[in-house]
Structure 1
Amino acid sequence: MFSAPRQTEHRGEHDDLLSAGLGLDGLRAALPPAFADPAHPTAAELRRRALWANWRGIADLAVGGGYGEVYGSVQRVEGREYSAYATVPGAHQPHRVLAQVPDAFDAGKRCLVVAASSGSRGIYGAIAVAGAWGLPKGCAVAYTDKGAGTDYFDLDAGLGVRADGTIGQPEDGDLAFVPSAAERAAAGGIAFKHAHSRDNPEADWGRHVRQAAQFGLSALDRAFPQQAPFTWANTRVIAVGISNGGGAVLRAAELDGEPWLDAVVAGEPNVYVDGARPLYDYTTEAALLMPCALQHKPLAAMPAAPAGAAADAYCAYAAANGWLGEGMAEASNEARAEAAYRRLRDNGWSDAALRAGALSVSFDLWRAVAATYASAYGRYAPAAKRAGKGPDQPWLPFAYAAADAAAQPPTARPAAANERAAWWADASGIPPGAGVQLFAPPAGDPAQALAPLAGLRALWTGQGGDGDAAAGLAAAHRRVREGIAATRASAPRKGVPVVVVHGLDDGLIPPAFSSEPYVAMARRAGAQVRYWQVRNVQHFDAFLGLPALAARYQPLLPYVYAALDRVEAHLADGAPLPADATIDTGLRAAGQPLQAPQLAIPR
């Protein structure tokens, strides 16, 4: 199951498990930790920088935001890390697993926290969720990147990421992600595991989590041989994750076989159940309609502007394609915006989710997510070389390559050595970002520019094209739909307590499409599920460093930590599980620090 094992020590003044010695002040630094040689950073330098990037990508570390003072911890925790690749049977590519074992591991309670990275992040993508809670308590923590992560592969140079994060060749034998020889010969630009593994990793998220937990037990055996074996029967295992990581731990809770999991806490989970809307459906809808709908006056107060093509171009395109109803082709932009808003509301979006969804519009996140997931669900290879004209898949017309971020329009070019060297530490797992751009075919007008988004939507609806194009769409539609169907969740095993925590203002994974139908399904099956719904909380804690957002929203992480506390007390002392709650938070005045009473955490 496991290969390429590594063990490293993290002690002393300038290193530890939680922050690589940076501490809260170092994590707050505006610039990442530097590499002595930017083209050839050491494994230790890459790890430190990856921890810096992943803390900042998940938690609100801004002064006054409350982290480390009102909630959370970045205290020094010394210990060892064990890492390896794990492979799900039948998969083309492995996923990374990592176990952090503190020197102060509490042998009396034998606790293992297992977590999956949020989003498509690398192996440290849950450090602020699981590590920050479990390591200071003397628990070991095991992680998985769940088949995604930042192990990018430069198809032009034939270089990828080794087990220690440095750059190497396929011949080295320990790369985390290697496209096949045929794919490397046919494709150009950059491939990344979530989109191009050909495995549809989301279908195996639960198995990834269980394998990470198994690796965690084996790491404890190695760390404390006198107390081995560590088993499901004598070690308490709690799974936790947020966003995609939250969906992954819920999928782990449903697995058959030997009982292994004692409890689950899932924050803002991306989870799909029968009868609900999957992520790909509402993402592709939002990509096309939300930039227009956000111009509707009741929503216009959100301090974020649509990115890319002007909002009126989205409105015109939607009207021309009949998505806004009859008579909209000649209507005013104001009327089109209202029609787009009504369409989204009718399809389940709340005003709170639409306002927060403006963040995803501003950061071009809907397009990035839709393109990545379409490739993953369809198990597509990287884009074939066509003299810069884009990939061969007409319904997936996107390619990835290095580009200068400041260039307008961005132009694809070969990646430089210093860029490749930083991908593992700096990237989020879904381009654009870290110097990698997402490219669509060149467009001469707004309609051409938006057509690729319509192509992504057509992969869900199956509507579009004619003749041979219609036949090709039908095949691609079936392929993507089959991939989505493979991600459908089932109820957790009976006897496994589950706490779901979700912000009611979430604009990326609205609870109406995810947590709400999951909780209802699980309860119909007799599962032991509790549900906290938190007002004034959206999806991205890390954005709360922006003053306008800090005055509007509260962070999610305090509620995830509190739910973990309550689950731990239930398992250890028989305390009751938390009751369902709709939590009415307070808000900060502009420029004022977060105060504990404003969180209104249930007691």
Structure 2
Amino acid sequence: MNIRISLVGAAVLALAACAVRPSSTEPSMQGIDFVQGDVSATVHRDHDDLLSGGLGLAGLKAPPAPFADPQHPTVQELRRRAIQTSWKGIADLGPLGGYGTVYGAVPDVPGREYQAFAKIPGAHAPHRVLLQVPDNFDKTRRCLVVTASSGSRGIYGAIALAGAWGLPRGCAVAYTDKGTGSGYFDYADDTGVALDGQRAKRGTAMLEFEPTSAIGEGIAIKHAHSGDNPEADWGRHVLQAAQFGLAMLDRAFPDQAPFTPQNTKIIAAGLSNGGGAVLQAAGVDDQHMLAGVVALEPNVHTPDGPALYDYMTEAAIWLPCALLDERFASTPFARDAHGKPHATWITRCASLHAQGLLKTSTLQAQAAEAYEHLRSAGWTDQAMATGASSTALDLWRVIGAAYASAYMRRGADDMPCGYRYEAMNAAGKPAMADEATRASWWADASGIPPGNGVGLFGGTDASADPQLVGAECLRRLWTGNDADAMALHASVKALVAKLPRADLPLWVVQGADDGLLPTAFTSEPYVAWLRNEGRQPLYWKVPHAQHFDAFLPLPGFGDRHLPLLPYGYVALDRLYAHLYAAQPWPSDVPTPTGKPRGAGPLQAVMLDLP
């Protein structure tokens, strides 16, 4: 679902390596007693900017920025690569995608960064907060964009949305990893990740995450193993990031202090899990800090809507078989590299038939039954079609294992259903991680394994359908009524969003073809709930857009879809014009129609942007 203050002339270099500790005598630090330890302040100019780490658009598109010494990358190298990885994980930077020509840009944005660990009251693990202050900060239109990482990514996980939109126009941007991130802890050498991204042993530095248990095995992941159910506090993480941002603006511009929600517009923007986080923040914003919210493809749970864990665990069992239906024969990922049905998916149909869950005996009839089962549960054809990518890439199992562990507050050696994370070798077998692999985790990893030398193991048996036993175990945690199921349900209940204030400008943007967080389960029930409660959210259900812009360069996939980021940028443009140019906030907005990109490059007319 991935963390030094500038003066003129020589003082810049002198202070660039300093860590600044909060002081009770500094007004800029008042109200952020949630900060844990030091605040790092760094200067980023001269080919090391805020938006791309000096890579520019061409460098972001290139292979991973190298480490001179892979076993001991520098702080600057780790930061640059973390930014590049975050861009590539969210935006379509492919040659046909149009980023930088049809929409979006990656200009050089020099400035400063302030970063710290922060804690929600009662939490075991900290979350990262980071403020980027561009040198072109607009003091006449004081603007702070606050965002949360997408998925389980690290601190730069929303830079392609919030940073790309906010920094060039002179807004400061405050980020939080919302209790997720890639600060993996390795029990093999008792190391985690320090504030600067480098590896450190437990007890030698404050770590992004260290398990409460001093003895264990394998790899511990903050999102899954913190014991905090961080998703329930994503809104509070966002509001803490906003508070941190205001305090650091006081520090950056003391002659302009204080920066407050009354004199600085705070715009919350996020996508995927980050989109859910800003909607959660809108519901718990009792101090009216937020001036407006734009949420893309949000993972949001409404009082009467389905929960992610419910439809995710059902998809893990049923989608492999349903996607063998002939209607998906030409769908990307729904067939193997030779255009044939995936053998493991055929086995899934047979498994469901053997259990009596499918009544028919032929493969096509079984696929049709599985398809109808998901249709009756609310899945649309579009969601199932693009859900083929999540199924082929094993995302349902990966997400299910991590989220179940988080909801049940389990540790690395006590994950539900026998799952565990371990370092692995090139052959995919458990093995001790080498130093270079460990050193790269903070910059490269997504926040939920597998990947980057860490594997998800367990949850299998020796049957012809080895992953089904784990999938069914995860599903029983939702459908069952034992103590484990009750604990999981209690955590999921804590995720329900609360109503935002009636006068808060709020815009939800989601792709109609989203197959990971289908609109029928997320944005549509949320928007309907708000409207029933007298709110007036704007909503774009964008045709031909799906969940992963980063998948669009894949052969055959981008031909059918449009990127979602440009629609988010437009929504933010409209919100900015409303807040700063007094343009009326509309009661409704026509949804752009657009058309699929096809085999050629993206053209502006295809997006149908207003």
| Coarse TM-score class (shorter-chain normalised) | over 0.9
Q: CA deviation at 1:493?
A: 1.3
Matched-pair contact (CA < 8 Å) for 2:133–2:172: yes
Distance in 2 (CA, whole Å) between partners of 1:289 and 1:150 is 30
Question: For residues 102 and 111 of structure 2, what CA distance do their matches in structure 1 show?
Answer: 26
Equivalent residue runs for 1:127-146 within 5 Å: 127-146=159-178
- Alpha-carbon displacement from aligned partner over 1:162-195 (angstroms, at most 9, x marks no partner): 0000000121231110101xx231x211010000
* 1:533/1:581 contact within 8 Å kept: no
**AA aligned opposite 2:423:** A
Per-residue deviation at 1:360? 0.3
Percent of pairs with identical residues: 54
What amino acid sits opposite 2:419 in the alignment? Answer: F
1:115-164 residue CA offsets vs partner (Å, 9 max, x unmatched) = 00000000000000100000000000000000001110001211000000
Matched, 1:205 2:234: yes
1:594 aligns with 602
Letter in 2 for 1:194: H
Q: CA deviation at 1:309?
A: 6.5
Shift of 1:587: 2.3
1:418 corresponds in structure 2 to 436
Q: How does 1:334-373 map to 2 (within 5 A)?
A: 334-373=364-403
Q: Which amino acid aligns with 1:544?
A: L
Contact 2:285–2:500 under 8 Å retained in 1: no
Whether 2:442 is the aligned partner of 1:401: answer no
Shift of 1:539: 0.3
Change (3 A) 1:269 1:103: same
> In 2, Cα distance between the equivalents of 1:81 and 1:239?
19
Match of 2:594 among 576, 580, 585: 585
Counterpart in the other structure of 2:44: 10
Deviation at residue 316 of structure 1 after TM alignment: 1.6
1:535 corresponds to which residue? Answer: 543
Letter in 1 for 2:54: G
CA separation in 1, counterparts of 2:285 and 2:206? 32
Report what 2:205 is aligned to: 173
Structure 1 Cα separation of the partners of residues 569 and 422 of structure 2: 38
Match of 2:254 among 225, 228, 251: 225
Amino acid at match of 1:311: W
Does 2:335 correspond to 1:296?
no
Q: Provide the secondary structure at the position in 1 that maps to 2:406.
A: helix
Which residue type is aligned with residue 369 of structure 2?
A: A
Alpha-carbon distance in 2 for matches of 1:87, 1:245: 18
Question: Normalized against structure 2, the TM-score is what?
Answer: 0.91
**Alignment partners' CA distance in 2, 1:242 and 1:321:** 39
Corresponding residue of 2:315: 286
Is contact 1:505-1:538 (8 Å) kept? Answer: yes
Partner of 1:378: 408
Confirm whether residue 24 of structure 1 aligns to residue 57 of structure 2.
yes
- Residue 552 of structure 2 contacts residue 563 of structure 2 at CA under 8 Å; is this kept in 1? yes
Pairwise CA distance, 1:317: 1.8
The answer to whether the 8 Å contact 1:382/1:399 transfers is yes
SS in 2 for 1:548: coil
Which among 460, 468, 476 is matched to residue 458 of structure 1? Answer: 476
Asked if the contact 1:114/1:212 (under 8 Å) is kept, the reply is: yes
Residues 231-280 of structure 1 deviation map (CA, whole Å, 9 limit, x = unaligned): 11110000000000000000000115221100000000000112211111
The RMSD of aligned alpha carbons is 1.4
Q: Distance in 1 between matches of 2:479 and 2:350?
A: 20
Counterpart amino acid of 1:349? W
Matching of residues 97-246 of structure 1 within 5 Å: 97-180=129-212, 183-185=213-215, 187-246=216-275
Q: Over residues 44-75 of structure 1, what are the superposed CA-to-partner deviations in whole Å (9 max), with x where a residue is unaligned?
A: 10000001111000000112311111111110
State the distance in 2 between where 1:434 and 1:79 align: 31
> Which residue does 2:567 correspond to in 1?
559
- Which residue number corresponds to residue 83 of structure 2? 51
The separation in 2 between residues aligned to 1:363 and 1:343, in whole angstroms, is 22
Compute the displacement of 1:528 (Å).
Answer: 2.9
Matches of 1:422 and 1:7, distance apart in 2: 22
Q: What's the CA shift for 1:593? A: 1.6
Distance 2:334 2:325 in 1: 13
CA shift, 1:586, in A, is 1.6
TM-score (ref. length: structure 1) = 0.93
Q: Say yes or no: does 1:66 pair with 2:95.
A: no
Q: Which amino acid aligns with 1:23?
A: G
Structure 2 match to 1:469: none
SS in 2 for 1:404: coil
CA contact (8 A) 1:2 1:87 kept: yes
Deviation at 1:357, TM superposition (A): 0.3
For residues 376 and 591 of structure 2, the distance between their equivalents in structure 1, rounded to whole angstroms, comes to: 24
For the 8 Å contact 2:87–2:160, the answer to whether it is kept is yes
Displacement of 1:447 in angstroms is 4.1
Mapping for residues 307-318 of structure 1, pairs under 5 Å: 310-318=344-352
In structure 2, how many angstroms separate the alpha carbons of the residues matched to 1:459 and 1:106? Answer: 50
Contact 1:122–1:150 under 8 Å retained in 2: yes
Structure-2 change in CA distance of 1:95 and 1:306 (3 Å): farther
Whether the aligned pair in 2 keeps the contact of 1:490 and 1:522 (CA below 8 Å) is no
What letter is aligned with 1:219? M
1:549 maps to which of 542, 550, 557: 557
Q: 2:523 aligns with which of 515, 521, 527?
A: 515
Q: Distance in 2 between matches of 1:354 and 1:442?
A: 25
The residue aligned with 1:427 is 445
Where in structure 2 are there 5+ consecutive unaligned residues? 1-33, 337-341
Residue of structure 2 equivalent to 1:265: 294
Question: 2 CA distance for matches of 1:317 and 1:266?
Answer: 39
Deviation string, structure 1 residues 254-312 (Cα, Å, up to 9, x no partner): 11522110000000000011221111111111111111100000112112147996111
2:114·2:132 contact (CA, 8 Å) conserved in 1? yes
Q: CA deviation at 1:559?
A: 0.3
Counterpart in the other structure of 1:465: none
Note the C-alpha offset of 1:595: 1.1
**Amino acid aligned to 1:287:** A
Residue 316 of structure 1 aligns to which amino acid in structure 2? A
Q: What is the alpha-carbon distance in structure 2 between the residues aligned to residue 319 and residue 377 of structure 1?
A: 31
CA distance in 1, matches of 2:104, 2:287: 33
Measure the CA separation in 1 of the matches of 2:366 and 2:563.
34
The match for 2:69 is 37
Q: Which amino acid aligns with 1:261?
A: L
Return the letter of the residue paired with 1:9: V
> What is the letter of the counterpart of residue 206 of structure 1?
G
